[in-house]
Structures are given as C-alpha cells and as structure tokens.
Amino acid sequence: MEKIFIDSNNIDYSLVKKAAGVLSRGGLVSFPTETVYGLAVRADKKDAVDRLYEVKKRPKDKPFAFAFDSVDNVIGNCFDVLPPFGYRLMENFWPGPLTIVYHTPDNKKIGARVPSHIVASEILRQLNVAVYLPSANISGEKEAVSASEVEKVFNGRVDLIVDSGRSTYSKPSTVIDLTYKPFKVLREGVVSEAEIARVFIKKRIIFVCTGNSCRSPMAQFLLEKYLREIKPYFDDRYEIISAGISAFPGSKAAPPVISILGEQEAIDSRNFSSQRLDRYGILSSDLIFTMEDTQSDYILRFEPKAEGRVFNLKKFLPPEKEKDIPDPIGKSPKLYQEVYSLIKEAILELRNWL
C-alpha cells in the first residue's frame, strides 16, 4: 500500500495523474471528498468492484453509487429524464454532498453524485470514466474522515491512499431517492431534509418566445407582479423566468417593453438580460408557457418528455381572442400595446389558475 499527499491549495497534477493511473489499471484508491474519505474503483472493472465489496464487507445486493466529475456527465450519461425538481436539486447541491437515486434510460435504479472536493474532482476528471466511490469504512461502521483513519482500517488492503487533510464536513452525503413520489430521503447527511423540501416547493415557471426581448419578458414581469399580490410566500414558492428559442444571450428588453411596463405597471425592467432556451431550461421547469404553437412544437420535438408541462398562453384568453400572441419586434407602438394587453389578460387568468 502506498500513501501520497496532495495539497488542496497547491495541487501537484503529477500525483493526480498517478492516482488516476492506479484506478485506470483496476486498483483500489482512497481519496477525500467534502463529506468523508471514499474508496474508489472503476465501475467497469468487475474484478476491482468485487474486491471493493470484499474490502468493505458489503453485501452484494447493496449497489454502490457512481461518482462523476461534472453535472453534465450525469445528465448526459447516467439518468433518464428526471422530474424538474431533480434538476433543481443538482443546481442547488451539485457539485456537493448529495447522492441522487433514479432510473437509467433502460430502467435500472442507480445512485450518482458529483463531489465538490477539488482533489476528488481532479482525480475523476483525469480518469474520465465513472467510478464507484462509497465511504471508506467497513460496512455499517463509522466513516473515515482522514487518511490516517483509512490507513488504520484498511492497512494493506488498498493500493493507494491520497491524503489531503481532514474531510470538510466529516459527515456522509445525503441520499435522496427520486423514484418515490415526490421523493424519499434514504439517509440524511450534510444536506438536510428541510433544505431539500425548500427546493421542492419552489416551482419554476418559464415563459418562452422567439428572441426573449418582448413577449416572454412581459409575461415574466407581469406574472411575478400579480402573483406577489395574492401569494404572501411568493419568494419561497415561485421562480418566474423567461427565455427565447433564438435569443441573443445578454440582450436587454426591447425599449417599448421597458416603457410599457414602467409607465403602466410601475415595473423597472431595465436590468433584464435575455437568455436562450436550452434543454436544461426545459427539463428544470415545472410549467412552460409559449406565445405560439410553433414554439410549443419546437420544445416537444426537442424534449418529448416535457409533454404535459407545455402550454400556449393563448389558452388563458377568452375563446374569441384565443390565438397566438403576435411578435411585435420591429413593429408599431400600437402592436406592442395590443400584445401587452393580451398578455396581461392571459396572465391574470393564469394567476387564478395557479
């Protein structure tokens, strides 16, 4: 067994490469995470995985959770489409001390985590394949929170120990199972159940148009204003955003929109900044409202599993007005005013529906 020291504040990347090399060859390596020290093996090396079960004295019917170097790798390679709440959990707690359990696209149930400890992250990034990374302990016993504790428990039974000082939290990750509705906390660790509940109850609503400079910002600001009037806990329960299918990120709201919202609603929208709709924006939103049927069709082609969460705002207008809300960009002030009136009418009905 070999032991090396990697300083979190001054990383020696030759040592990172060495640790990744041991893992790559099928070795068993202990290194710190922000929670506790872990025992890592490549998930695709059966002999190494069998050895990990043996060293930890863990029953074979208890699977290990995967560890990845980035959130994108989990979203792209691990889980099937999660409920919107799952993506907001990632947004709030990853990288960090939360393990999420969900189905894979082929309906297997797995757990995954993205550690935030810089040394763990760099080793995982250098290796660039999924690893199993359970806590460094004999199954059922106390987790090791320092390299010396790992050495004491597993003397001679691991190939390499990476010492980077004591783990930050010295407490295991929280494990949440999203295959239960709405969720089940299997183990409460660093992240409290109350913190998870706060993310769950805060619903994300997104308005979508073409350029995210006229219609969707209007809808965003109006719904926020009118919901605040009747929802005393608005900030804890709602997040209202907007995006455009063809938006130029960072653009301001159109001048007529700024004028209308300022003069007629006392809303200051001068600091608004546009964003382009992406897959994450679709996946993480509980409700998606578009201005045109073509936008709804685009979203559902892009992400079919958003069906049931995508609505055209015209559905909240009276039957005689139920039509796509026109794009006023580059058109007359009169059309901007008409669009504002339509959106306001729909938003007031939407507020009552919510």
Instruction: Kindly report, residue by residue over 47-103, the tens digit of the pLDDT.
Output: 999 999 999 999 999 999 999 999 998 987 899 999 999 999 999 999 999 999 999
Amino acid (one-letter) located at 170: S
Can you give the pLDDT at residue 75? 87
Describe the strand order of the beta sheet including 310-312 as a list of residue ranges: 238-244, 203-209, 287-290, 310-312
User: How would you classify residue 340: left for phi > 0, otherwise alpha for psi between -120 and 50, otherwise beta?
Assistant: alpha
Can you give the pLDDT at residue 235? 94
Residue whose structure tokens are 């935030």:
116
Percent of the chain with pLDDT over 90: 97
Can you give the pLDDT at residue 272? 98
| Whether 81 contacts 178, CB under 8 Å | no
Can you give the pLDDT at residue 126? 97
Q: Is the pLDDT of residue 1 over 90?
A: no
The pair of three-digit structure tokens given for residue 107, joined into one six-digit string: 């309906």
Can you give the pLDDT at residue 77? 81
Instruction: Kindly report, residue by residue over 280-310, the tens digit of the pLDDT.
Output: 999 999 999 999 999 999 999 999 999 999 9
Q: Could you tell me the domains of the chain?
A: 2-198 (3.90.870.10), 202-353 (3.40.50.2300)
Q: Is the N-terminal amide bond of 182 cis, ω within 30° of 0?
A: yes
Three-state SS letters, 239-283: EEEEEECCCCCCCCCCHHHHHHHHHHHCCCCCCCCCCECCHHHHH
Instruction: Kindly report, residue by residue over 106-155, the tens digit of the pLDDT.
Output: 999 999 999 999 999 999 999 999 999 999 999 999 999 999 999 999 98
44 vs 106, 119, 130, 252, CA distance in Å?
Answer: 17, 22, 8, 48
